[in-house]
Structure 1
Amino acid sequence: MPSAAPDRNDLSASADRAARCAEAARGLTVPLLLHRNATEFGDLPALTALGADETLTWSALRDRVAHTARGLSVLGLGAGDRMLINMSSRPEHWILDLAAVHLGAIPSTVYATLSPDQLRYLAEHSGAEVVVLEGDAELARWAPILAEVPTIRHVVTVSGQASADGRVVTLAELAATGAAAHRADPGAFEKRWREVPPEAPVTMLYTSGTTGDPKGVVLTHHNVVYQCVLIEDTVSTPDHARSLAYLPLAHIAERMLGIYYPLYRAGHVTICPDQKQLLAALIAVRPISFFGVPRVWEKMVAGVQAQISAADERVRAAFDAASTAALEGYRLRAAGSLVPPALAARIAALDEAVLRPLRTKLGLDELVWAGSGAAPIPVSTLLYLAGLGIDVFEVWGMTETTGTCTINTPAAFRTGSVGRVNPGMELRVVEDGEILVRGPLVCSGYLTAGGDVEPITDAGGWLATGDVGVLDDDGYLTITDRKKELIINSGGKNISPAQIESLLRAHPLIGQAVAIGDRRPFVTALIVLDEEIAPMWARGKGLPDTSIAALATDPLLHAQITAAVDAANAKLSRPEQVKAFRIMPAPWTPESGELTPTLKLRRRIVTDRHAAAIDALYDTPSTP
């Protein structure tokens, strides 16, 4: 299959960089990194909960991990055993996860938004012997599952109550038992973690399940350490840097940037448990690097736009001048050109006077690197951010590739692409446009119901990603769609829904959009209003009812969405243009089911659940 690709599509990074990264990752494991940090950087801060008085140093963190590991060992958790974690982001989450890893066990964080049926599936499929739950509310939710899944021998509750039969134990009890065992025989802990090889599993992450049952992706210590080495080799950030963890730890991006990379660089992580506190957390932490899924950046842009539009004419003029200059420099750098000294000086002066104060209000004034991934981000969003002096570099990858597989960098980027392939990785685009990859970031496989790990690559080691893309002559990859999500209309035309949806979502009033048209005569769209920006806009217009349900039928707002659809259509070919749309009366969320926990569209659920609304668009189409 790979041999069908043109030679120029068979890319690998330079051999010297790949060799350097391979050597840097050789022999390293997560326990070894924690041991190094506690030994060499023991007094430096490692972990803080937002607003908490206590900060765990690397030395204190390792002590807590050792005690918890011994406690889990007393429960019978050992090498190869699985442990599910269903709790919010808090220091105890990190400690329990790392404790399991030190025993050679496989921790797996599950999304808090999963339904009871989904949790039951994961409990049965994983064969987990230990489950960690936050408190009594989670215990009540899991009660039917615990009664039906006998493989779960023990439950650890962080803030709930223990059970009389001993099946449910508190974390405090477990840690106390483990601390006593560790004091009596500290060598047992040290011996156990040293027996964990780089090829052993470090975590299992269940995919979001956009098209079916979730798959348990098994990643190794070498997978995550190699990704850390690549990040360090590619992105220039200082040692012991501040970072903010706010995404769920079931998300590969947060696992890499919130656990493994700070371990590798001995950084200081502050945990923000609630994304509604994100702005306050950014201002408090002022992170050196920040990764945001596209929706985070889109909301940030919408907030700045609202602030600028409400300012007086003098402020707007100053912003326009500074933003125009910053964007001019950004475009030159994106083209690989030098910024002339006079322009660079002008950009610096305007940035200090106008843009840096804006970034300070966002908590991003000390940012060295910013990234986006997990879903396509509109180019218009990237350009607006560049006009704020925030260069956001898009990356591409998947859980199965331990996060990034390709990356844009400050030294080499192309707006709208997802960058070039990482050192040591190989990438091919085959005849039907599907992207194939192989190399040290590809996971060891999927967990089977029987407990084995089944490889997901072909005989040549290639992973078929399911993503469709194109490579330019300089090796930059652009993702055009998911292979199984291409629209083929009734005329046989192949259409990318991702491109249409990205253009629609560029409008601040639109939170989500899904393009419809497979086996249909033309393209239509379901549009979901942004639940923060739309009410804010409505209040500014003096509308009496600012609820999403009311705005969905409001003529003034409908006119705004019509204009947004017209603007998107102007950038699309005739077969791609949206001929009719409907504004949905309620938001789509992971809880409502239309989105995955990582905010990807569940297209099959959308089309099934809203079939009547879709059919109505084709029964009585109205051209916007």
Structure 2
Amino acid sequence: MPTHVVHLLEGQAARTPDHPALSWLEGDSLRNLTWGQYRHQVWAVASRLLEMGVRCGETVAILAPNIVEHYVADLAAVLCGGATVSLYPTLVDEQLAYILADAKPAVVITTDETTADRLRRVLPDGSNAHLVCVQQTGEGAGAGAPYVSWAEVLADGAASLEANRAELSRRLTDSGDNTATYVYTSGTTGTPKGVTLTHANLLFEMEAFDRMGFFIGGYRVISYLPLAHIAERLWSLYFPLRTGGNVLLCPDQGQLLTYLKIQRPSYFMGVPRVWEKLRDAAETILSTEPYASRSAEVATDRDVLVRAWARSQDGSLGSVDRVRALKAREGILYDLRRELGLEWTVNPNSGAAALPQDLRDFWRSIGVDLTQAYGLSETTGVAVWERIGGARRGSAGFAVPGCEIAIADDGEILVRGPGVTPGYRNMDPEKSGLMVGDWLATGDVGHLDEAGRLYVTDRKKELIVNGSGKNISPTAIEEKIAGRGFINQAVAIGDGRPYITGLMTVKEPDLISFARERGIEDAVPDLLSHPLVLQEAQRVVDQANERLSRPEQIKRFRLVPDQWSVDSGDLTPTSKLRRRAIIGRYSAIIDGLYAESKDTAR
């Protein structure tokens, strides 16, 4: 039995050395790295990392898009006995500095000298981390750690591999309890926490999906989400080690539709925001020929699929319905799925954030049986998976094999099993609040039906999960705005939404003073929409956004004429925001913020 993820790489390289493992576009040409070449590069880079001083238990940080070098470096680091930390490209310097100080990497790998210079500035004082640049050809100048080119790392590692092979082989036999990766995720205070995932955690997740029949047939996927995201790490880095198959690397999400048509994946996972964008593409295609002139046929076939789904929910789906649904799927709607590159996708899934029902209904109406999943970085990504053919409206599915789900007395979802993290990096497990006995406390609220399906109904914790599945701390946003200038209180909104918006109250005396200094005599309610007032509020928001990553930045806001207090029901007795109450109170305004175009006034 394998106890190390690189054991799986060894097996794949031995079985299918000449099959393409990783593929990418160079201009109009498709390039491949075979499983045999993949293995060779991992060992060569591991040899060089060993010489750079990567010891067992140390970390290697990677700030790079979805490129071959990212994959090779990741597995090379764990072959050395180290652990990887993939960094989100949207992180601002303050966030990068915090994570690097916590992770203390021995080596940092990035794409170019500009990014390397940025990383050097934010590395903690006294760091001796080596910097490796994929696109750098010589040694960097100046104080601090030198730059080393990826080409040098690969060449020098290959030259020293035989001398280091015995030590690397020894490290490959280490226990599965060793850490393989740290996945940094936002906490409720905005401070990132490094979720520890061991080799045993990852191997369990692969085994669970194998037991569900997930790896039957060819495995073709596209890598396009950041590799800092546990879902992307599973689908495109770890799962192929178990099943073989091929990963097409898409370093630019804006080109996803092109890559879908090239790869025609057997499995495709997208956060809800991705499925929304693909729906827009599908609707555009439906407005063109031949679909426009055959709109009645399209509508009829879609209706057949919708009715078949509805009848599957109440148990009235008969054999005639099944035949009609099969015929509808394989008619003109098959052509539509082919134009999207999804005609061979047998496992389309949405995860990382709640999937709007209307979005799911659209995909079912064109023959894409979109399933859901539930999990956290702390559960190695997936704890609950919706089986194809067993879906129920509103359900996230059943616990994956080997995992248990329970509901606490207060409704909180609890998880237990080999996929649960042993804890956070540099944090006392007893003080983290992560575990309740031997159960992981998820911070989410839900219930189980009689069959054991999980329904996630609410979030006990305050963390925002946006439409792209990104965890965002509202507190970290609000504290950069509240109390600035004439702004009094602020609340950030964005759960399940494509971007962050904000509501703000004002300090009336300060607002009046601001207005009078500019010769504005309007009453306070009218001042809230005055162009100069909005301009000043925008300045405060812009200053906050400079300290926030792109997903965290407030795109639109509204000044409201109220003051949130304990008496109004908007604050707790300890003056904490009652977010649900505020969001419910201003639901119409919030919906308007998301309905407005970018060009409308705030």
Range class of TM-score, shorter chain: 0.7 to 0.9
- The one-letter code of the counterpart of 1:34 is L
Whether the aligned pair in 1 keeps the contact of 2:80 and 2:171 (CA below 8 Å) is yes
1:282 Cα deviation (Å)? 0.3
Distance change in 2, residues 1:123/1:499 (3 Å): closer
Whether the aligned pair in 2 keeps the contact of 1:457 and 1:464 (CA below 8 Å) is yes
Could you say which residue in structure 1 is the equivalent of 2:270? 292
Q: Distance in 1 between matches of 2:109 and 2:50?
A: 14
> Are 2:408 and 1:461 aligned?
no
Query: Quick one: which of 114, 120, 128 aligns to 1:137?
Result: 114
Whether the aligned pair in 2 keeps the contact of 1:84 and 1:132 (CA below 8 Å) is yes
> Are 2:364 and 1:386 aligned?
yes
**1:11-410 alignment runs, 5 A limit:** 27-51=2-26, 53-146=30-123, 148-160=124-136, 161-164=138-141, 167-184=146-163, 186-194=165-173, 196-209=174-187, 211-309=189-287, 314-335=293-314, 337=315, 339-410=317-388
Task: Single out whichever of 250-259 and 36-45 deviates more from structure 2.
Answer: 36-45
Q: Distance in 1 between matches of 2:140 and 2:408?
A: 56
Identity %: 33
**1:441-520 alignment runs, 5 A limit:** 441-448=419-426, 457-458=434-435, 460-485=437-462, 511-512=498-499
Task: Single out whichever of 306-315 and 434-443 deviates more from structure 2.
Answer: 306-315
Superposed CA RMSD in Å reads 3.6
1:43 Cα deviation (Å)? 1.6
1:374-416 CA-to-partner distances (Å, cap 9, x unmatched) read 1101011111100110011110000000011111111422122
Distance change in 2, residues 1:41/1:412 (3 Å): same
Could you say which residue in structure 1 is the equivalent of 2:482? none
Query: Quick one: which of 420, 426, 429 aligns to 2:398?
Result: 420
1:474-527 CA-to-partner distances (Å, cap 9, x unmatched) read 22212122113499xxxxxxxxx999976xx6xxxxx44769799xxxxxxxxx
- The one-letter code of the counterpart of 1:82 is T
Determine helix, strand or coil for the equivalent of 1:428: strand
Q: Distance in 2 between matches of 1:437 and 1:593?
A: 37
1:151-180 CA-to-partner distances (Å, cap 9, x unmatched) read 243111111242257632111112221111
Q: What is the TM-score normalised by the length of structure 1?
A: 0.74
1:258 Cα deviation (Å)? 0.8
Q: Distance in 1 between matches of 2:184 and 2:9?
A: 25
Q: Distance in 2 between matches of 1:480 and 1:516?
A: 24
1:288-323 CA-to-partner distances (Å, cap 9, x unmatched) read 000000011112223323443566764221111111
- The one-letter code of the counterpart of 1:83 is V
- The one-letter code of the counterpart of 2:421 is C
Task: Please list every run of 5 or more consecutive structure 2 residues that lacks an aligned counterpart in the other structure.
Answer: 465-490, 506-528, 530-536, 564-581, 593-602
- The one-letter code of the counterpart of 1:346 is R
1:435 Cα deviation (Å)? 1.1
- The one-letter code of the counterpart of 1:366 is W
Q: Distance in 2 between matches of 1:385 and 1:612?
A: 37
Q: Distance in 1 between matches of 2:463 and 2:156?
A: 55
- The one-letter code of the counterpart of 2:283 is Q
Q: Distance in 2 between matches of 1:122 and 1:98?
A: 21
Distance change in 2, residues 1:62/1:594 (3 Å): same
Q: Distance in 2 between matches of 1:340 and 1:175?
A: 60
Q: Distance in 1 between matches of 2:501 and 2:216?
A: 41
Equivalenced residues, count:
506
1:566-593 CA-to-partner distances (Å, cap 9, x unmatched) read xxxxxxxxxxxxxxxxxx999x99x958
Determine helix, strand or coil for the equivalent of 2:278: helix
Determine helix, strand or coil for the equivalent of 1:371: strand
Determine helix, strand or coil for the equivalent of 1:445: coil
Q: Distance in 2 between matches of 1:512 and 1:65?
A: 38
Distance change in 2, residues 1:499/1:235 (3 Å): farther
1:105-136 CA-to-partner distances (Å, cap 9, x unmatched) read 01110001100111111111111121112101
- The one-letter code of the counterpart of 1:288 is S
Task: Single out whichever of 224-233 and 74-83 deviates more from structure 2.
Answer: 224-233
Task: Single out whichever of 421-430 and 214-223 deviates more from structure 2.
Answer: 421-430
Could you say which residue in structure 1 is the equivalent of 2:576? none
Distance change in 2, residues 1:454/1:39 (3 Å): farther
**1:593-608 alignment runs, 5 A limit:** none
Distance change in 2, residues 1:307/1:54 (3 Å): closer
Q: Determine which structure has greater relative contact order: mean sequence separation of CA pairs < 8 Å that are 6+ residues apart, divided by chain length.
A: 1
Q: Distance in 2 between matches of 1:96 and 1:358?
A: 38
Determine helix, strand or coil for the equivalent of 1:403: coil
Distance change in 2, residues 1:501/1:439 (3 Å): closer
Whether the aligned pair in 1 keeps the contact of 2:285 and 2:336 (CA below 8 Å) is no
Q: Distance in 2 between matches of 1:466 and 1:94?
A: 32
1:421 Cα deviation (Å)? 1.5
1:275 Cα deviation (Å)? 0.2
1:199 Cα deviation (Å)? 1.1
Q: What is the TM-score normalised by the length of structure 2?
A: 0.76
Q: Distance in 1 between matches of 2:274 and 2:346?
A: 18
Whether the aligned pair in 2 keeps the contact of 1:153 and 1:167 (CA below 8 Å) is no
Q: Distance in 2 between matches of 1:230 and 1:137?
A: 41
Q: Distance in 1 between matches of 2:456 and 2:86?
A: 28
Distance change in 2, residues 1:227/1:68 (3 Å): same
1:596 Cα deviation (Å)? 6.9
Q: Distance in 2 between matches of 1:297 and 1:210?
A: 27
Q: Distance in 2 between matches of 1:314 and 1:325?
A: 19
Q: Distance in 2 between matches of 1:436 and 1:382?
A: 26
Could you say which residue in structure 2 is the equivalent of 1:612? 559
Whether the aligned pair in 1 keeps the contact of 2:504 and 2:558 (CA below 8 Å) is no
